Each structure stands twice: as structure tokens, then as C-alpha cells.
Amino acid sequence: MSQSPLTVALHEAGHAWASHAMGADVLELTIIPSDDANGYCLHNRVKGDRPWYEHAVITLAGMAAECVVAGDDDIQSRANNGGYEDMQIAGRITGSKMYRSLTSIRMTPSARFVRAWESALILAREHFTNIDRLARFLLRHPKMGECCMPAIRHIEAGKDMTEWRYCAYCGLKLPESEVAA
């Protein structure tokens, strides 16, 4: 099932914001589709004392951001609509069992998975305004490299991203206005 550009941007921005919240730097962020994915977020290693937990939260945060927009916490529908790989990775990290049929995905979640999912939802709800602002900026700047962390810090400081007409970090000239949802 094809997802809207805004949904993909929210998903990837959820991963990026969770990476930042868990102490990792975002190295690359894109919503340009490839053969494997609709986009991706690449971050360095988390610096916490429970790397399995931080990595699981980051992995689930994209689907959590989608759930906040949808007004639910139905991870199952997100997994069936493109989040399968994230769910599979988080399942491996947390020791959960996954089952896939031709039409759907089912999981027997471990307590670790449930804890990581609940944390990802809380993070997405508490930081949704910033996740949304990052997603909308990502629609204007669909591939970010060394500009990821300056953009995240700019948003975190409450600054207006529409003032970025030219990305001094990667040289991209940005569209004049925000992209409509």
C-alpha cells in the first residue's frame, strides 16, 4: 500500500526525533524512496546504558508518530501498511515472536517490546509538534545529511523552519513555502 509523502515524512521524523531524544546524532534522513524503503533515518550509536531499549524505541518511533496522527495506538495496522520491517527489527531486539501470513502480520510481544512501544508512543505524543515540524521541513528538504542535527536543534529551539531558504550545510536551495499536507 502506497503511503502519502507526509505520512512517510512523519514516520522518518519520528525515528529522527527519537534518535535525538535517546542521545544519538542523526546522520542521514530521507523520504526519497528506494527499492527497499519509502525513506530512512540513519543515526550513530545510542549512548544510553540500555542500548536494546533505546534502539527498540527509536525503531518503533516512526510507527508511533503515525499512530499519534491517526489518533490510535494500533501498531498492527502500521505494520501491515509498511512498518513491517521496523516491527520485525524491534521484535528481534526485544525477543518477541513474529508471524506473517499472506495478508497480515501477527506478533506475540515480549514485555520488553511492550515497554519500548509504550515509550515510543509517549515520546511521539510529547514531542509531536516538533516531529510534525521536522516532517514538514523534510518535505521541502527530502534528503538531509550533515544538516540533520542543525535542523533538529533549530526546531527544538522553537525557531521557524520556513526561514531556511538555502541549506548552508548541503547547498540545497529550498522551496519558498511549506509543502501542503
Q: How far is CA 131 from the centre of its chain?
A: 8
Q: Determine the pLDDT at residue 124.
A: 96
pTM: 0.87
pLDDT tens digit string along 45-82? 887 778 899 999 999 999 999 999 888 877 776 666 66
DSSP secondary structure code for residue 166 in this structure: B
Q: Determine the pLDDT at residue 125.
A: 96
40 close to 119: Cβ distance less than 8 angstroms: no
Which domains are assigned to the chain? 5-163 (1.20.58.760)
User: Is pLDDT at 16 greater than 60 in this prediction?
Assistant: yes
Q: How confident is the model at residue 121 (pLDDT cuts 50, 70, 90)?
A: very high
